Every structure is written in structure tokens, then in C-alpha cells.
A and B are shown apart, each in its own frame.
Chain A
Amino acid sequence: MHAHHQDQTKKLDIWQKLHIDLPLLVGILALMTLGLFVVYSAGGQDADLVVRQGVRLGVALTVMFIIAQIPPQFFLKWAIPVYVVGLALLVAVLLVGTIGKGAQRWLDLGFMRFQPSEIIKLIMPITIAWFISQHDLPAKLGNIIIAFILVLVPTLLIAKQPDLGTSLLVASSGLFVIFLAGASWKLIGSCIALASAFTPIFWMFLMKDYQKQRVLTLLDPEKDPLGAGYHIIQSKIAIGSGGLHGKSWLQGTQSQLEFLPERHTDFIFAVFSEEFGLIGVGLLLLVYLAIVMRGLWIAVNAQEAFTKLLAGSLTLTFFVYVFVNIGMVSGLLPVVGVPLPLVSYGGTSMVTLMAGFGMLMGISTRRRFITS
């Protein structure tokens, strides 16, 4: 097998050797480059901001590259212990975590602050994919219920911080695995029905006032245009006033004149829409679609159930970022702290995302060895 491996390697191109999936890389770099331009515009044309973002992208790309070198089986081996450690960290956050922006999300390790929920974003699909792939597909009901519990515990711990955006992403990464593993439609249907029934209880007992406020604001932002509704109103004005062609780069008045809050972070899509218009938005969505399609292609072509499920979940979770962010910025969804992936300014979630892409690339570039 060793000899065979080396034999194959010669035929592989340089990208395969580096464990880089070129189409995926092209899409990622396209978004990153675009992101740098929009950050420059949104940040008041501050070159320092662009440089800092560039450094972060460099770090994230490095992380992606390193993760891509690790064979997926390695994650498989470590799934359980890492999951347990992840849960412990989440509990630790709730007990001794640092409070920032009104939520308890960080662990202060002395030399750095660290957000365990980001790690869970990666651990969750690995763990569920590992658990499901232990048995034949489609997964049996009993296993699905166990998988549900595995998903639910960290999700609730994160929601308790409270970090609704992350808990949503974590939950969906686990649920996507269950969906891709062939959970029956009957089950999916009854889950949706159950969730709908659960909604009023969720609203009345579990949601905090500010979270309820966000939902109410979504329904009628004009009720408090200078308070709760300000973000969403200004964001919609920015997007709407961009029109078909946009006001062109650096000319978006909503962002340049600072009417738009959180311009270079969560609301960067509004800046982009204002300056590049509907045409720009269409192209951006196509790039995201291309990345999702490539990710699903990698998943479908992966050799084992585990890598298939992991790749599929990572790809669809990536899309959840896109949908939730654009949905909230354009007034379809309540405001939750989810960045526009690979475009928004910011470090932590970027690194996590790129680690995910590293796994995807690792899966993508290793399938041929096993085929033979």
C-alpha cells in the first residue's frame, strides 16, 4: 500500500500534493479579496483596518492549510474525547467565563481569551458524523435520537451564554449530518411539527427580553426608528438605495457618512449592496452557490460515510452563515451575531470557518488513495 501510494503521488498535481482543492480555494480567495475592498470602504477608507484584516486572512489561510494536511481519520479517532473536552469548556464558560458585549462567551486563559463555542462548531459535525457513520445508513431511529441529544446539549449550553447565532450554527451542523444520513421524511416532518409546537414555550420561558425585542423589531422596525429599529432601518435604506447598479465603490453614502452601524463587521453586506447594487449581490450569491456546490460535490465524492457526512455538514453550515447574515441584514431574520463568511471583518469565526474548509480540502484531496 505504501508503494502504491508513492506511485500515485507522481501523477498528482502540485495542488493535490499540498492538499488544496483549487476550485474551493479560488472561491474562497475571491470572497476574501472582495471582503478586503468592502472593508476598506466600510471602515472609512482606513488602510490599517485592511492590513489587519489581511493578516487575519493570512492566519486563517495558514490554519486551513495545516488542517488540510491532517487525514480525516485523525479527527475520527479523537471525536469522543474532543467532544467531551468541548462540553467541559462550555460548562466552564458558564461558570467562570468573561463577560463581553452582554454575554458570557470567553474563557480567559491568562495569555489569551478563548471562545470554546467556536471549537464546538468544528467538533459538532465531526462527532455526529462519527456517531452516525458507526452504523449503516440510513440511520436508525434510536441512533438518531442519541444523535439529537448529542446535538442538543452543547447547543443549549451555548444558547445559555447567550449566543443565539453560534448555537444556531452548532445545532444546524449536527442536524445537517442527521439529515444527510437519511433520516426519514416522516421523522423530519414530525420534528418540524414538534419544533413549531415548542415555539411558544421557547418564546415565553427561554428567550431573553432583548432577543424577543429583536424579533419584534424585525416585524416592525419603524416602531422605534432611532432605537431598536435603527440598525435594520438604516441597513434596508443602504441596500435599497443601492439600486440596480449601486452607488459604486467608496460612494455609498449610508456607509461613508456612518449612518449604517456595524458597517465593516456584521452589516458589511449592506455596504456591499449599497455600493455594488443588485448586480453585485447577484454575483456574490453566485460565488457562494459555487462554493456550496463544490463542497457538496466533494461530499458526494468522498469515499466513506464519515467524510461524506462531515463534508456535507461543513458545506451546509457554511451556507447557514450566508443565509442568516444576509437574511438579517436585509430584514428577513432577526438580528443575531453572524458575520458574512469570508467577507466580514473579524478573526475568530474566520479561523473556524477556514479550519472547516481545511477539513473539506483534506477530504477532497484524499479520496483517490482509497478508491484504488
Chain B
Amino acid sequence: MAPHKRVSIRNHTAEANLFARRAFIALIGVVIMLLILFSNVYNLQVSSYEKYQTRSNSNRIKLLPVAPNRGQIYDRNGVLLAENKPIYSLEIVPEQVEDLETTVAEISDLLGISDEKQEKFFKAVKGKRRFKPVELHSRLSDQQVALFSVNQHKYPGVVIEARLKRYYPFGDLTTHNLGYVARINSRDANKLESEGKAENYAATREIGKLGLEKYYEDILHGTIGHQEVEVNNQGRVIRTLDFTPPIPGKDLTLTLDIELQMIAKRALSGKRGAVVAIDPRDGGVLAMYSNPSYDGNLFVHGISNINYKKLLSSKDLPLINRTVQGYPPASTVKPFLAITGLDKKVITSKTRIYDPGFFQLPNVEKKYRDMIRGGHGWISLQRAIEKSCNVYFYNLAYKLGISNISEMMDKFGFGEYTGIDIHEESRGVLPSVGWKRARYNQPWYTGETLSVGIGQSYWTVTPLQLAQATSILVNKGEIKTPHLLKATSQTTYLPGQETPTVKVEAEPYALEDRPPIELKDDKNWQIVLNTMHSTVQKLGATAHNAFKGHKYDAAGKTGSAQVTSLGEDEKYDASTTREDQRDNAMFISFAPFDNPEIVVAVAIENVAKGGGATNAAPVARQIMDQYFGNREIVSQYKDKNHPNHDTHFGISKAGTE
């Protein structure tokens, strides 16, 4: 059986040679196979290196978007109107907590967190990766933050996360100007997508929905930053590779004066109405307040259904911005009609007409009545404005005809957007032959021209349009587009620098002004301005009482608008009229007369007694008193953190502290 015995009888050498040959062939086979392997790896590592390197990087490198801080908004004196306030939420990283249930129970006991929230938390935990934080409670109170901070060491893996939320410290006082931001909804998202801005909003939660927040969204938002991180196959962040900081949005400084805004709110309290104050020299809006208002902060966190229904169903319609809502202008348009009459040479400053207490069209029975039974007798333009004589303006309107009137009123901006920097503006209605044809498919009747002559009929104007038209008047035809934005500034924190660098852009977004109104005779401007001056200054004139004792040489024009039409011989009596059908009180004014710095327009709805003179003019007076008086209120609100208000807007620090 021993094999070596048999070896002797076999051809040992031949066998060995055969084996050696086969082994050699096998070796060649092995070498070929190794070359195949090597060339395949060569192909992967050299020929396709870039492809696989890219894929390897896209496996591990993720770009996390970092939202920029939204620009803050200040009033003209540096008072903070919209800021970003940290809110605190309690978050738990399940992976880092040993006994999740006990921990949640203990913390909930400590901070008084409801069972409902705990359940929601455990549901959320199931759907998330264990190393991702899950929110247990959002919007912790200061006490809760303090209470947890003291106990934090006991709960590893439980953290307080701070996020910035928009906050409007003045609440309803500024909502109709600033608007508000709220969570980006699918419509916003689609719009951002179609405008190619979606990428810049990748980390942003809120967007401007109304007012300046919406109008200047692009400026306020800023530019997204990115954190380049390395992740593992679970998506867990291993380390940060690179960080491109976001560029914060620009801060806005407004022309608005929060102090005047407060006075406007106080003056309108208990009434429905609006106040607009403009600096006619540049069109900057000093005050723009609509009463009643509502708190924009409600919308930032998502308004509850109950609160929203309350706002919607309130008969005072707080959601409506009355400063840009149309009202019948009534007698406040008389100065503008006077300009038209003078320019068309239908009247001169000397023209007098006889007012028997009514006006009649040729061959028509109907009497268009004056306010005073028996009339004003012979009356000039100046007295017609001082006394707000209707018959004079029936006469004037009749002579001008509707086309001349609508042509000139169009130049004053009635029936058109003023171009102010919020989107909520309405155009009002400037009646004309063409407008009536288009709107009602009806011809124009001469009787309607008479109504237009006293600012009634179809005519509606917004308080902002009234203020703007008055500005054009005091600027003698020059048009400055009204605007809320005064300047933008970019705050940057350079590395290693404690105080931020602020770059101010003085008038970066100046709106385009329309070409001026040119009269055939420039003197006509002064004639009409004089009539408005005497309306305030002259004893017995309509606005005299309201401005008794003022020191800044104001001028103005009152108006009382009928909300419903009366029969020919009907007499209006507020006490017997339904509340919502009572007269509206209107007023336009400016001061100082020689060199106007402020124009104020007021509209108050459905006044209980009297008209523009007794209801609207006093409101304008309070605004002007504040404007020309001392300005102490502002100091207590001034934001010490606003780095540039005291140097750039001419208010000395010493005076404010």
C-alpha cells in the first residue's frame, strides 16, 4: 500500500514534467486573471476616478441651508417697529436619553407640559431618526426657561433651542403699515419657485404677507447661507466642512413717526376712520393710521381660527386699511375744483355769483340745495371755500363740465394709485363720461356733474389720495410720490469686531415721481392756497374753531359726505339716521402756510353729530400740535441698539436720554 513503492515502476520524470507544464499553464492563467482584476480596478480608480470621487462626495457631503436674519424696521427716529425676538422651544434627542419615558414625565411635571403634547412628542419620536431632536414644547415662557435651565444638568439630551421670530412691539399701531410675516404656505412657495427665489428661501420659515413686510420682502429677507457638512449613511452630521454665513436682510428706516401714529390712534379712538400725514417736501409719510386696527403679531405664530373669525366678523372691519380705502371726498375737493375753474378761466379770483340757497339747471325743475336755507347771497371764490358754499361749486362744475373736471382731477391723482410702497392701496373712483360708460354702460347726466362739483356722486378717494392731492397743491403742481421707506442700512458683524458696521443707503429705493401739473397761470395756486388759509384763520370760517389758538399757521378744508342720498326737500338729521348711514367727516390741511412741512388728511365714518369741521379737523389739529410741539414721547421708545439713528437722522443722543 505504501505509495513510494509504486513510484519506482512509474515514469516519474514524465509525470513530473507533465505536472510542471500544467502548473506553469495554471500560473499563466493566474497572472492573466490578476491582470483582469487589476485592469478592472485601474478602470475604476484611474479612468473613472472623477465620476466615483463625485459620487463619493455627494454621498457624504450635504449642504444645509442657514436662514438669514430678517432686516429690522425702525421709525424715522430710530424707534424699533419690527424686530426678531428669540423664542425658546424644548427639544429632546432620543438617542442621548437613557429612559425617554421617565425623562419626559419628569420634565413635563416640572414645566407643566400637557399630556396631549407628550403624546404628540412620542408620536413624533417614532417617525424620526434617533439622533434628530424632537420638539416637546414650543414657545417656552421665561419662567419655564429659567426653571429648566436650573435643572438642565439632570437631563442630558434635553436642550432649549432658540429661534428668532418676528415681533412688532407696537402691535396694532403699525399693522396697517408694516403688515406682518407669517409661515410660507404652498402659494408663497409656488410663487417663490416661479420667481426663481425658492433656493434663497430654503431655510426660511416666514415671508412678508402684507404691508411693507410684503413690499420690501426681497430687501428684508437677505441671502441664504450654507453649512457644508459631512454626513454618514444615516444622515447624521459628523462634522462641518465649510460655512458660508448668510447675509442678513437690510434694515429699513421709515419716514413714519411712531409718536404721530400714537396721537392718530388716540384721536381716532372709538371711531372708524383714518389719518394720513405726509411731508409734502419729499412725500415721506409721517403717519398713516387706520382705526380700528389689529395686532399683526397674532399672524406671526399662525392665528387661531377663533381669533381670525373674530376679526373677520367684527362690524368695525379692523382688517381693512382705511387709509387706502375709498370715501366720498365731499367738500374737501372744492380747492381742486377751484384750481380747475381758474385754469380753464371759467372763474377768476374776483368772480362772484348769487346764491339763493339752491341751484337749478336751465329748464329743469329740480333744485340743488345749499347747506344754508336762503343761501349765501353774492359770494366770491374765497368765501365759497371758507363757508363751503355748494351753490358756488354747482355753478362752477356746471360751467366746467365733467370732462374738464375729470381731466384735472386725474392729474391730482384721484382714481389712480399713488404708488405708495404697500400693495393694499385701492384706486378709489374718479367719475368721468368714459368711466360711467365702461362701468354702467350709461350716458353721463349733467345733474351728476353738479354732484361731482361738491365731491359726491360716484366719486371716492382714499385718505392717502387726499393727502397726496393736498401735497401737490401746496407744492404748486410738483408731485412727490408718497412713501414709507426713508432709508435702508446693512448691518454686518465683521469677525473680531464687537460693534457692527452699518452701511446706510440714504435714498436707495426712491419711487419715481410723476411729471408736475402745469397751470396756465402759476398765480392760481396761491389763490386757492389762500382760500384754504382763510378757511382755518378767519373767524366764522368752517375750520376756524377746530384750530383756535394754534401757533403754526395752518390751512385746510373741511368736508361732510353724505353716505346715502336724500330727497329734494329732505333734511339730514344725524340723530334720526341709522348709524352706518350717517355722514362721514373729512378734512385736509397743511402747515405752516408759507413753507408747508406737513399735510394731514382725515376721514371719519358715520359721525354722530356735525361734519368735517367738528369731527375730522380736531383730529388733524392733534396731529399737527404734536408735530409742531415738543417731542418727548419718542425718547422712551428709542432703541439704543439702533446703531445709526442718532447720527444719521439728526437727533442728538443727549436730547433723548
Contact = CB atoms under 8 A, between A and B. Distances in A.
Interface string B16-60: 101110110011001101101110111011101101110111011
Contact of B23 (A253, A254, A281, A300): A300
6 contacts: A253-B230, A258-B234, A259-B232, A293-B27, A323-B33, A331-B44
A300 B59 CA distance: 50
A116 interface: no
A128 interface: no
A332 interface: yes
Contact of B19 (A282, A293, A312, A326): A312
B56 A241 contact: yes
B33 A136 contact: no
B53 A243 contact: yes
Given A179-B26, A182-B19, 5 more contacts: A182-B18, A244-B46, A273-B41, A277-B45, A289-B30
B45 A238 contact: no
B27 A282 contact: no
A306 B37 CA distance: 31
Contacts of A323: 33-34, 37
Interface string A213-251: 000000000000000000000101111111110000000
A331 B45 contact: no
Interface in B602-635: none
Contact of A241 (B23, B36, B37, B53): B53
A285 interface: yes
A278 B38 CA distance: 8
A259 B233 contact: yes
Given A241-B53, A281-B45, A331-B40, A288 B34 contact: yes
A138 interface: yes
Nearest to A179: B22
Contacts of A181: 19, 22
A327 B37 contact: yes
B597 to A, nearest CB: 67
A237 B22 contact: no
B52 A241 contact: yes
Contacts of B48: 240
Contacts of B40: 327, 330-332
A292 B42 CA distance: 22
B37 A332 contact: yes
A273 B85 CA distance: 52
A73 B3 CA distance: 8
B230 to A, nearest CB: 7
B45 A258 contact: no
B350 interface: no
Contacts of B7: 304
Contacts of B234: 258
B233 A258 contact: yes
**Closest CB pairs A-B (n = 10):** A240-B52, A241-B56, A257-B232, A240-B44, A137-B15, A258-B233, A241-B52, A278-B45, A241-B53, A180-B22
B4 interface: yes
Q: Which of B14, B22, B55, B57 has the most CB of A within 10 A?
A: B22
B373 interface: no
B11 interface: yes
A316 B30 contact: yes
Nearest to A240: B52
A281 B38 contact: yes
Indicate the size class of the contact surface on chain A: 35 or more
Given A254-B59, A316-B26, A332-B37, A304 B52 contact: no
A319 interface: yes
Contacts of B33: 319, 323
A213 B389 CA distance: 97
Contacts of B11: 136
A11 to B, nearest CB: 22
B45 A257 contact: no
Contacts of B150: none
Nearest to B58: A237
A277 B238 CA distance: 24
A305 B14 CA distance: 11
B56 A243 contact: no
A372 B340 CA distance: 137
Nearest to A293: B27
A244 B230 CA distance: 23
B315 interface: no
Interface of A: 73, 76, 133, 136-138, 176, 179-182, 234, 236-244, 253-254, 257-259, 273, 277-278, 281-282, 285, 288-289, 292-293, 296, 299-300, 304-306, 308-309, 312, 316, 319, 323, 326-327, 330-332, 370
B27 A296 contact: yes
A257 B239 CA distance: 11
Given A300-B20, A330-B37, A259 B59 contact: yes
B37 A243 contact: no
Contacts of A241: 49, 52-53, 55-57
A258 B22 CA distance: 44
Contact of A243 (B30, B34, B49): B49
Between B36, B44, B230, B234, the greatest number of chain A beta carbons within 10 A of the residue's beta carbon is seen for: B44
B154 interface: no
B55 A237 contact: yes
A133 B26 contact: no
B153 interface: no
Contacts of B3: 73, 76, 133, 304, 306
B235 to A, nearest CB: 10
B34 A289 contact: yes
Given A137-B15, A304-B4, A253 B59 contact: yes
A237 B19 contact: no
Given A289-B34, A323-B33, A312 B23 contact: yes
B231 interface: yes
A238 B233 CA distance: 13
B569 to A, nearest CB: 87
B123 interface: no
Contacts of B59: 234, 237, 253-254, 257, 259
Contacts of B42: 278
Given A292-B30, A312-B19, A257 B231 contact: yes
A278 B45 CA distance: 6
A76 B3 CA distance: 9
Interface string B395-424: 000000000000000000000000000000
B156 to A, nearest CB: 23
A239 B231 contact: no
A305 B40 CA distance: 37
Contacts of B578: none
B33 to A, nearest CB: 5
B9 to A, nearest CB: 9
B10 interface: yes
A278 B27 CA distance: 23
Contacts of A281: 38, 41, 45
Interface in B34-92: 34, 36-38, 40-42, 44-46, 48-49, 51-53, 55-57, 59-60
A308 B12 CA distance: 12
Contacts of A296: 23, 26-27
B366 to A, nearest CB: 85
Given A137-B15, A332-B37, A278 B52 contact: no
A137 B21 CA distance: 13
B52 A285 contact: no
B27 A292 contact: yes
A158 B232 CA distance: 38
Given A257-B59, A257-B238, A292-B30, A278 B41 contact: yes
Contacts of A133: 3
Contacts of A289: 30-31, 34
A137 B30 CA distance: 23
A31 B609 CA distance: 104
Contact of A319 (B30, B53, B232): B30
Contacts of B52: 236-237, 239-241
Contact of B26 (A138, A312, A332): A312
